[in-house]
Structure 1
Amino acid sequence: MKMTVSVATGAPRANRSIGAILMDSGVLTPEDAERIIQFQKEHDIRFGEAAIRLGLLTEADIQYALSRQFSYAYLRASAEKKTLSDELVAAYQPFSPRVEQLRAIRSQLMLRWFDKTEQRQVLTVVGTDPGVGRTYLAANLAIIFSQLGERTLLIDADMRNPRQHELFLLQNKVGLSTVLAGRSRDEAIIRITDLAGLYVLPSGPIPPNPLELLSKMNLDEFLIHARASFDVVIIDTPSLSVGEDAAMIAARTGSVLAVARTGATRVHAFNDMVQGLTESGVAVVGSVLNDVPPPKKAKKK
C-alpha cells in the first residue's frame, strides 16, 4: 500500500513495569516474574530479553506490554472472543509492515491536511468502483489516528452497502441515516471501548433515498458539530460507480483521499474521478494505491 503524493504524540505514561503489566493481564505469574528478574540480574540484560531467553514470554507479549506502557492501545490476536474483525490490522497487528505503511500515510495526511486550528479535520475516502479498499483503509486509518492520541470519528456514509458496523461488530439500528433524517443525534455515535479515542457512526438502516438524505442541511450541521467535537473525522463512502453519494459528500467536506486497487482500478476512470473532484473545488489531498487483497466473501450454504 503506497501513498502516491509527493505528530507529535502525547507524553508516554511509562510508570508501570513490563512485568507488572503482564502479571495483571494474566500472561505472567509472580513466580515466573521472579525467575526472570533473577536471570536478568545474573546476565545484565533487559527484562524482556531475559523472559524470552527463558521461554516464558514471546516478542508479541513484550510488544503488548510496551504498548500499554506508552498508552498505545491495540488488541491481542490470541483473545478467545474477538471484539473487532480481523480486517482491522491496525488493532491486531500494529507492528506489522502493512500497518507501518498505514502510519506512513497518516504522517503524510498530518503534514498535508489535518489541522484543527484551520478547521481541516474532515477527510472523505473515495474510489471509482466497489472493492478497491475504501472501507478497509478508512477503518484502519481511523484506528491509527486514535492510537496517535487524536480523538477520532469514523463515519460510514455508504448508505447503499455499508460495512463498518460489520468490521467493528456493531448493531446498525441507528447511524448516519437516522441522524440525517432527524431521528437521532449523538446517541448514534458509538465509542469503541477497546481503542481509546475512537468513535464510530455506522450508516444506520439503509434508506430508500440516500442521495436525497445527503442533500439535506442536516449533513452540514452534523459536520459542524463533528469538527467541534473531534480532532479527526474520516468518512467512508460508496464507490462513484453506484451513484453520486461520494461526490456529494466530498463537495460538502472539501477534501478527499482517493483510493485505487492494484490490477483492478482503470487508470482513465481514476483520473476522471480526480479531475472531476478537483474541478468541483474539492482538495484531493492524496491518493493511495491499495495492494492488499480484498476480503474473501463467505460462501452461501
Structure 2
Amino acid sequence: MPLAPGREAVVRVTAATLWSGPEAVRPVDRPAIGPHADIPTWVSGMDADQQVSDCVLSQLLLGERVLIEELRPDGWARVVAVEQPAAKLDPRGYPGWLPAAQLAAAAPAPAGYVVDAVTTALRATPGGTVALPGVILGTRFAATGPARDGWLPVEVPGHDAPLWASEVDLTPLPTNAPTATEVLDVARRLNDVLYIWGGVSPYGIDCSGLVHLAWRRFGVRLPRDADDLARATTPLSLGDERPGDLYFFARPGHDVHHIGFVSAAPGASGYRQMLHACYTKRRVLDEPMAPDRVATLVGVHRVTPLPVGASAD
C-alpha cells in the first residue's frame, strides 16, 4: 500500500526529525533528512547556535505512527505525529514535516518488546552483520518468532525480512504503569547527553524530550512540550515533591518554558535538586537548583499513573 494523504504510516529510520517546514532545513541538516537519517553525524556537524534552532520541532522513533496530511512532489510529507500529544497545536498529535522517504506504509504489528539499552543495533542474522545501527531507547518492536542464541527476530518498517535484536537490549513492554523512581532511573542513564532543541534521542535531547522519552520507555505517552506537560499532570504543593516528580519553570506573564525531574527530596532552606536537559549548559545534568532557576520555579507536578499505552494529553 503506497503512502497517501489521510492514511497512517510509520517511521522507517531510527529517528526521524520533525521540521517546522521544508524551507527551514539548513545545509547542516542534510544527514538528518536522508533515507537513513544519520543522527550522530548531524548532531556532530552543528555549532552551538545551530543546536538550538527552532526549525526542529521534535523527533520520532523507528516504528512510530504518523497521519499523513499532505505529500509534496519534492518528497516532503506534512504529518501529525499521533504518538506525541500536543493539545495546543492539534488534538490528534504533533504536526510538522518529514521526508517521505523516512516513512513506510506498512501497519505495525502490536509491539511486545521495547528497547531498554540507550542505543542498540539490529542485525541481519543472529549475531551477524549490523543492518540498522543506533536504534534508540524506547523503540518498540513486535517479535516475529522465537529467540535464537540470545537474539530475537523483530519486525522492522522498511525491511521485508525480520532483523535480529539482542535479547539483552530488549525487555517485554510492561503491562503496568511504572513508578516515578523507575522512570527517573531511566532518565539518569541519559545524563551528560548533549542538548539539542527538539531532540528525543541519546544523541541530543531537550528538556521535555527527556521527560517524554523516559516515560515512553515504559509505554506511557506524555505530551511532547513542557507547557502541555504542565497541563496534563497533577500539581503538588512545593515541599511535597518526591524523586521522579516534575519541576516546571516560567517567567512572569509567560507560559511554562522548562521542565526537569525532581532527582532528590527537597532539603532545608529551600534546597532542591533536578535532573534536566539544560539549555544554558547544553547538557543533561543532575544538579542543585541555582538561584536564577529558583526564581522561575512555578510548580511541581506528578504524573498520575496511566494504563500502559494511554496518553496524558
TM over 0.5: no
Alignment TM class, shorter chain as reference: under 0.3
- TM-score, length of structure 1 as denominator length: 0.27
Higher strand proportion (structure 1 or 2): 2
What is the TM-score of this pair, normalised by structure 2? 0.26
* The structure with more radius of gyration: 1
Bigger helix fraction: 1
